[in-house]
């Protein structure tokens, strides 16, 4: 069984400040981990994913995430927030044994203050 | 490259009525998924097709929900009869279907259903 916990349903950051979104997962098999972003009235767009290899993964729009197996975490960061980063972010887990089935966390809504 | 298309974008119905949603995946994508996203929650997989066969429908409420992908391309999700708790955004996604667990899923814009 797989599950994802995203700490904080809402995060408020100032423009130019660090964005940190927390994600912890549970998986009985080696996980594949994903971050998706959802803008209002739109579908989900893949930001980045970890499958194997390098644990620091770089994605689009300046985001990156680090897989830490010992902490079962996959936190998402961006050094400097931009107004366009205001959206909802979802962490998800899958795995080879899960047949590409994604299990999502509850999401974190990011508000960027000018 | 055209993305995943869904229609309608919005639908309002009364409880006990029926409703259908349509999805056209990205051309060449063998795998198609339907998700339910209730307000304030992450998407939940309802059903996954590989070509025209069902791979996983373990979370589909089969007493009222049905889905088909007859020719292995576009798909229809139906609810009959609808309940108040079915109010949600229904997302369709597709992927190439070649690498189990590694495929990137591409999402459509969703259909927002309101049941009154």
Burial class, A66, CB count within 10 angstroms (exposed 0-12 / middle 13-18 / buried 19+)? middle
pLDDT band at B101 (very low <50, low <70, confident <90, very high): low
Instruction: Tell me the pLDDT band of A52, cut-offs 50, 70 and 90.
Output: confident
Least CB–CB distance from B101: residue in A4, A32, A105: A32
Confidence of residue B1 (pLDDT cuts 50, 70, 90): low
State how far residue B51 is from chain A, nearest Cα, in angstroms.
Answer: 14
Q: Is B53 on the interface with A (CB under 8 A)?
A: no
Q: Is residue A101 within 8 Å of A16, Cβ to Cβ?
A: no
Higher pLDDT, B67 or A31: B67
Average pLDDT, chain A: 92
| Inter-chain CB pairs, A–B, below 8 Å | 65
Chain B residues whose CB is inside 8 A of the A51 CB are: 101-102
* Gap from B83 CA to chain A (nearest CA, Å): 23
Q: What is the pLDDT of residues B66-85, one digit of tens each?
A: 999 988 899 999 999 999 99
Mean pLDDT of A7-23: 96
Residues of B in contact with A103 (CB under 8 A): 45
The verdict on A24 touching B (C-beta cutoff 8 Å) is: no
Is B107–A45 a contact, with Cβ atoms under 8 angstroms apart? yes
Would you call A5 an interface residue with chain B, using a CB distance cutoff of 8 Å? no
Q: Which two tokens stand for residue A72?
A: 């079962």
Mean pLDDT over the full length of chain B: 92
The whole-number pLDDT of residue B63 equals 95
Beta strands in A69-105 (DSSP E): 73-78, 87-94, 103-104
A53 contact partners, CB below 8 Å, separation of at least 6: none
pLDDT in tens, A60-102: 999 999 999 999 999 999 999 999 999 999 999 987 766 668 8
- With beta carbons under 8 A apart, name residues in chain B contacting A32: 101-102
Is B27's Cβ below 8 Å from some Cβ in A?
no
Q: What are phi and psi of A70, to 5 degrees?
A: -65, -25
């Amino acid at each position: 069984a797989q599950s994802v916990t995203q700490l904080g349903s809402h995060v408020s950051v100032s423009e130019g400040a660090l964005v940190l979104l927390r994600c912890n997962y549970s998986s009985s098999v080696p996980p594949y981990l994903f971050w998706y972003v959802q803008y209002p009235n739109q579908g989900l767009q893949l930001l980045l994913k970890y499958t194997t290899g390098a644990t620091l993964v770089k994605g689009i729009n300046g985001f990156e995430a680090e897989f830490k197996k010992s902490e079962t975490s996959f936190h998402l960061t961006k050094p400097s927030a931009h107004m366009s980063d205001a959206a909802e972010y979802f962490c998800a887990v899958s795995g080879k044994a899960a047949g590409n089935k994604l299990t999502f966390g509850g999401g974190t809504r990011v508000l960027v203050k000018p | 490259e055209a993305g995943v298309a869904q229609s309608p974008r919005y639908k309002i119905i009364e409880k006990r009525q029926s409703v259908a949603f349509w999805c056209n995946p990205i051309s060449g994508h063998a795998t198609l998924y339907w998700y339910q996203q209730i307000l304030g929650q992450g998407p939940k997989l309802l059903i996954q097709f590989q070509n025209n066969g069902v791979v996983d429908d373990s979370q589909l409420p089969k007493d009222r929900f049905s889905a088909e992908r007859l020719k292995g391309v576009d798909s229809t999700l139906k609810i009959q009869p609808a309940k108040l708790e079915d109010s949600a955004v229904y997302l369709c996604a597709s992927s190439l279907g070649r690498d189990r667990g590694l495929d990137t899923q591409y999402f459509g814009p969703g259909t927002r259903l309101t049941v009154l």
